[in-house]
């Protein structure tokens, strides 16, 4: 699995346009082969963190190089982001605890 962690801070003047673009990019990512998930979290201080997962480097690269995504990247640097930090890596280990019948497992 390949995971992207994208931390950013938005410019105030472009928030509305950003949210439209962000929604479209999430839809586009979800339509791509090998897509696993995308989630965005916002901290109290306004920093945003988006985590995107793909099943392989090949599929991740297809997403990274998609023409519409490339345009969004250029627009982001020019208009949307006051700052950002991008990290991409391979997941070495995963541990998951799933609820049983919709109820979270109690601590062991």
DSSP the chain: -EEEEEEEEE-GGGHHHHHHHHHHHHHHHHHSTTEEEEEEEE-TTS-EEEEEEESSHHHHHHHHH-HHHHHHHHHIIIIIEEEEEEEEEE-------PPBTTBPPPP-
Residue 100, domain member (yes or no)? no
Closest to 50 (Cα-Cα) out of 2, 11, 4, 96? 4
The CATH number that applies at residue 45 is 3.30.70.100
Residue 96, domain member (yes or no)? no
pLDDT in tens, 3-21: 999 999 999 888 888 999 9
Residue 67, domain member (yes or no)? yes
Closest to 48 (Cα-Cα) out of 9, 88, 82? 9
Q: Number of structural domains, the chain?
A: 1
Domain that holds residue 81: 2-90
Predicted pLDDT of residue 107: 60
CB of 48 within 8 A of CB of 34?
A: no
pLDDT in tens, 27-39: 999 999 999 999 9
Residues 6+ away with beta carbon under 8 Å from 16: none
Residue 44, domain member (yes or no)? yes
Residue 7, domain member (yes or no)? yes
């Amino acid at each position: 699995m390949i995971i992207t962690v994208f931390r950013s801070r938005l410019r105030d003047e472009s928030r509305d346009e950003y949210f439209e673009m962000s929604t479209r990019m999430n839809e586009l990512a979800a339509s791509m082969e090998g897509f696993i998930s995308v989630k965005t979290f916002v901290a109290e201080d306004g920093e945003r963190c988006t985590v995107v997962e793909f099943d392989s480097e090949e599929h991740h690269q297809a997403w990274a190089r998609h023409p519409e995504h490339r345009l969004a990247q250029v627009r982001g640097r020019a208009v949307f982001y006051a700052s950002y930090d991008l990290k991409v890596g391979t997941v070495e280990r995963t541990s998951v605890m799933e609820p049983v019948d919709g109820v979270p497992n109690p601590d062991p």
